[in-house]
Structure 1
Amino acid sequence: MGVQVFPYLVMDGNAGEAINFYKEALGAEVLYSQTFAESPEDPEFPLPEEAKDRIMHATIKIGESEIMFSDTFPGQPHSTGSQVTLCITTSDAEASQKLFDGLQQEGEVTMPLQKTFFSPLYGSVIDKFGVSFQIYTGEEK
């Protein structure tokens, strides 16, 4: 099972600015960036205007390392200093389930492991030590 762990920075509406800063300061390369407006529309949950330009997900590369970013959705709580999560990625759904099940013991599930438009199996959990994790199942390379 191939598993990778990435730092994931959650910003409060300024992820685009942070990405540009890291491009200049650290020579980062933008590998991927998508705003909330660029995601599929959901008629049951119309996208508020103030969310459209926020970053839904982005990945930059600094040297040989990658860092992921997103902005909070307008109205979600955000605390400076606690905006870093760890994103564990694998292409194996069974491995994702096992990792998620292990982390949720005595922890708090913040998004159940489920199929999304961007992943066959994705969820988030805060472990019993207060560390936030995202479990992302990707495609086989």
Structure 2
Amino acid sequence: MQPIIYLFFPGNCREAFETYGRVFDASPEIMSFADMPPEAQGSMPGVTNDMVMHASLKIGDGWIYGSDDPSISTQEMAGCNVSLAFPTEAETRRVWDALSEGGEIRMPLQPEFFAPLYGAMSDRFGIRWMIMQDGEAS
């Protein structure tokens, strides 16, 4: 069994998953509400046809899924973080820089007692990330 993170966005899921696709060099699969069968459309208040019903993106051996839900705010997910570990300093810094652009740094990327590099931030879409480098701290 492989847990899969499911992220909800207040209307910008497509933009977020296209951004994540560039960061992780992967192609997101995106299905809009317009792609639903006609009898299923209109079942969620505030949803428009161009919003994302389901998105998926493979990252390494895992996946993230996402959807638009205009009834939520990303603040509702404040207790959740996506945590990723990378094998090299260069890759750790590349992903950190890309995800943190326009976001809010909660803990700068720096050496910690448990990892060569670790940092925490919210990206510009409000999704919280914990990014670290694998390996032993020096």
The TM-score, its normalising length taken from structure 2, stands at: 0.48
The TM-score, its normalising length taken from structure 1, stands at: 0.47
